[in-house]
Structure 1
Amino acid sequence: MTAPGLWNIAAAEPGLTAVVDPDGGEVSYGSLAAAADRYGRGLQAMGLRPGDSIVVLLPNGSDLLAMYFAAMQTGLYIVPVNWHLIGPEVAYLVADSGAKAFVASERFAETAIVAGESLPPEARFAVGTIGGFRPLAELGADEPVGRPDIRTSGAPMLYTSGTTGRPKGVRRALTGADPDDVPAAGVWFFGIFDLKPFDGHVHLCGSPLYHTAVLNFVALSIQFGHTTVLMDRWDAEEMLRLIEKHRVTHSHMVPTQFRRLLALPEEVRARYDVSSLRVAIHGAAPCPLEVKRRMIDWWGPVVTEYYAATEGGGTVITATDWLRKPGSVGLPWPGSVVKVLGDDGAELPPGEVGTVYMRMGASTFEYYKDKAKTDAGRVRDLFTLGDVGYLDEDGYLFLCDRKADMIISGGVNVYPAEIEGELACHPSVADVAVFGIPHSDWGEEIKAVVQPVDGLEGTPELTEELLAFAASRLAKFKLPRSIDYVAELPRDPNGKLYKRRLRDPYWQGHDRAI
């Protein structure tokens, strides 16, 4: 029986499809493993050794995955870069990570040229043509065919999203494990979602691979023998088409994608067969209750939610349990500890709101070269993302909001996520953000910024309608005092909202504690 793992599968079934690229081209396990071997040998010939770092600025595709597996078998840290960043921002990541090699796509040539200036030309590689970069095809081309000489497990080094301040790399100590073995933690993690090796699954990736969870799901799917279908830029109807064509069974999604799927005309949604789906996993951002209910009504009880962090630990909840506990993000994973603490660090009783802290195992992560930030998020052996919530009497976690986003108006704590969830239910609202703005008497007043659905514009009449709608669903002290409109809210492709970009202009000339 074939063991899971890229190289084990490549040896036993080299012709099996590992990846379907965004252009529809199929890449076999044998081809993917051979490319990873070639790049790994090439990097070692350049002098890279376990513990060194490489940075990749590549769109979704088998080139990125080949580089990932090259790093993972040679003990390197691989840093996948958000390709929405500009040159100086990527240059910071190259320098901060201590990268010894940089691989970029010609699609991002302008950014890559700026970002790669600190590296010698022989350490810069391009998919396509970039001035001053070597073709990626040259990496390892002169090396003997076969596995790299030094083989030990590497690790991704992913940077926090940088919604506040400069991003920091989350770096774990290398394990020294055999890279041909699928880590037990990966087998355990997929087991949470009832995903097992060689069980006929097909994974669909519709989000950028520079995100922690997205990369993790794709890498594990390939190692489990699950064909992985990659999208370049996500589109709602295209996702449905790919689900039907490839009989997709699982995907990792965000609530923004749910909203856009539900916004498709009914006749378009009915056109595609999605009955192959076994589990649609979502996280990364809060999902309005009504949006989730509608997705469960459409796709069935396959919608599973989790709450987690790059730093470790989390919760999970199935659709069946969520319908019993609407709004919950679930129970702690096996081996994960979740507690709600007060400002004094004491554990709070069920139902009482406080800061959510987690731990997974020994919780060994650290922010690279930033011990102060690592320590700031800890209480004893627990870590927080800054989220506020409570545990119910059955141990289910409910999130209220991020502590930094909480509004204090007239001495009362108001959680924007609750208001956003209600306004998002209005049919004229495509997206919404709520935050506090200065008020001379109350300290802060509640502001809503709305992205109307296509074809609508923000008008006084729409504002009146939305405020009346909110008043029918929320207590008076939670109601926005005003609504502004934008063409599109500033979210990253994984659904996270850059709320500071909206909020900061209102605070110019005013002091804000957070």
Structure 2
Amino acid sequence: MPVDIALIHPERPALIDDLGTAVTFAELLDRATRLGRAMLAAGVPVGGHVGTLTENRAEFFELYLASMLSGIWLVPINGLLAPSEVTYVARDADLAMIFAEDELASLAPDDIATICFGEPYEAMITEGDPTPFALDAPAGSRFSYTSGTTGHPKGVKRSIPAALDEMLAVQRSAGHDVAMTGEGIHLVTGPAYHAAVGGFAFFDLCNGATLRIMRKFDAARTLELIEQEQVRRTHLVPTMMVRMLRLNESARLRDLSSLDIVLHGAAPIAPAVKRQMIDWLGPILVEYWGTSEAGVFTRVDSADWLAHPGTVGRPVPGFEVFAVDDTGATLPPGE
């Protein structure tokens, strides 16, 4: 977990982003601790909610950890939502504070304290108390909202362990369940406000990985970073894969052999696209399916998918998957 890694490998890079920010694990733990205590000192209660309106940057993951340490719930808000939808989420989640990009701050309701990244954010950290949080203190987490495709976005607040040490242990265990085991570099390609992208990256961070955070996805730049920085793990969605496959031959002529695993989900993938990706990268694709409410509940590796093209895999431990009819009765296979 970040607490242990900060003590054992204090100078190991934790966060590197496209804005030039580089944070070691020792710095991450100190900054997150100060930030967590500063939020509490500003009046955010334990169990309260703070929001983010941001594109990908290192500060998002600082806030992720700060919230967990301080017993606060982090609510990432998609900056592409309409202003009325942002206001709805902020009100529905009862946000005490919002951290925002300068360009997105105007979306925040006027009556909610909004801290912009840069000087206001850094001042908050500088003034924060560096006293470590007790490991038996209440834990926080992230509180995700659905995309709102069938109505208003819906808040999904899942049950978590009561104590911080148990919550951090869950992050590590969940990471190992999906091969986010902390070695080397994890490339963050998609928007970190997305529960899967940010969540899997945070699992890997908790196990010791360095997060290399792309501001926005670019297919050619993704391949360049994998080669240059010897990326071990990343998360992609099918549209990203299509863009990568459509690159010209010279752009695709990169050494991608450092990759151990490519997680993918969030949308169905055409079998032809998946087969092309496996032919290109090797049998390192792992597909998952899940929901905001339940988390990941099926998973399939490349070998099983090649043996059963189109499958979404088997239930992960702790889950049972079945279909029901309109009355709630369980249907047999094939129905």
Question: 1:136 aligned to 2:121?
Answer: yes
CA deviation vs aligned residue, 1:97-146 (integer Å, no higher than 9, x gap): 111111111121332xxx23122xxx3211148xxxxx112325334433
**Taking CA–CA contacts closer than 8 Å with sequence separation of 6 or more, which of the two structures ends up with the larger relative contact order?**
2
* 1:213 to 2:196 alignment: yes
CA distance in 1, matches of 2:192, 2:80: 13
Q: State how far apart, in whole Å, the 1-side matches of 2:6 and 2:167 are.
A: 13
Partner of 1:305: 287
3-state secondary structure, aligned to 2:162: coil
SS at match of 1:306: strand
Kept after mapping to 1: 8 A contact 2:40/2:46? no
Q: Is 2:12 the partner of 1:16?
A: yes
Is the contact between residue 8 and residue 180 of structure 1 (CA under 8 Å) also seen in structure 2? no
Judge which range, 343-352 or 218-227, deviates more: 343-352
| Conserved 8 A contact 2:33-2:129 | no
Return 5+ residue gaps in structure 1 as ranges: 130-134, 353-514
SS of equivalent residue, structure 1 residue 19: strand
Partner Cα distance (1:291, 1:173) in 2: 36
Hey, which of these two has a bigger chunk of strand by percent? 1
Shift of the alpha carbon at 1:174? 4.5
Distance 2:73 2:173 in 1: 22
Q: Among residues 285, 296, 300, which one is paired with 2:267 in the alignment? A: 285
2:185–2:231 CA contact under 8 A, matched in 1: yes
> Could you say which residue in structure 2 is the equivalent of 1:51?
47
Change (3 A) 1:48 1:174: farther
- 1:262-341 equivalences in 2 (<5 Å): 262-270=245-253, 272-312=254-294, 313-341=296-324
Structure 2 distance, partners of 1:13, 1:188, is 20
Whether the 8 Å CA contact 1:7–1:180 is kept in 2: the answer is: no
For residues 251 and 205 of structure 1, what CA distance do their matches in structure 2 show? 6
> 1:128–1:194: structure 2 CA closer, same or farther, 3 Å change rule?
closer
**Of 171, 176, 198, which aligns to 1:191?**
176
Match of 1:160 in 2: 146
Change (3 A) 1:107 1:148: farther
SS of 1:165 mapped into structure 2: coil
CA displacement at 1:91 relative to structure 2:
1.6
Shift >4 Å, 4+ stretches: none
Give the whole-Å Cα distance in 1 for the aligned partners of 2:21 and 2:35: 21
Kindly report the root-mean-square deviation, in angstroms, between the aligned alpha carbons of the 2 structures. Answer: 1.8
**Aligned-pair distance for 1:48?**
2.1
Give aligned-pair identity as a percent. Answer: 35
How far the C-alpha of 1:175 sits from its partner, in A, is: 2.4
Distance 2:20 2:306 in 1: 37
Structure with max Cα Rg: 1
Residues 1:116 and 2:109 are matched in the alignment: yes
Change (3 A) 1:299 1:220: same
Q: Whole-Å Cα distance in 2 between the matches of residues 38 and 144 of structure 1?
A: 5
Amino acid at match of 1:102: I
Counterparts of 2:309 and 2:238, CA distance in 1: 15
- Residue 172 (1) aligns with residue 139 (2): no
Whole-angstrom distance in 2 between the partners of 1:66 and 1:275: 30
Distance 2:208 2:35 in 1: 22
Q: Secondary structure at the match of 1:39?
A: helix
Normalising by structure 2, report the TM-score: 0.94
How far apart, in 2, do the equivalents of 1:155 and 1:311 lie?
A: 14
TM-score relative to the length of structure 1: 0.62
Q: Which runs of 5+ in 2 are unaligned?
A: none
Question: Does the Cα contact within 8 Å between 2:160 and 2:167 map onto a contact in 1?
Answer: no
2-structure distance, mates of 1:303, 1:140: 39
Cα deviation for residue 28 of structure 1 reads: 0.5
Q: Are 2:105 and 2:114, in contact at CA under 8 Å, matched by a contact in 1?
A: no
C-alpha displacement of 1:304 = 1.0
CA 165–110 in structure 1, closer or farther in 2 if over 3 Å, else same: same
Q: Secondary structure at the match of 1:90?
A: helix
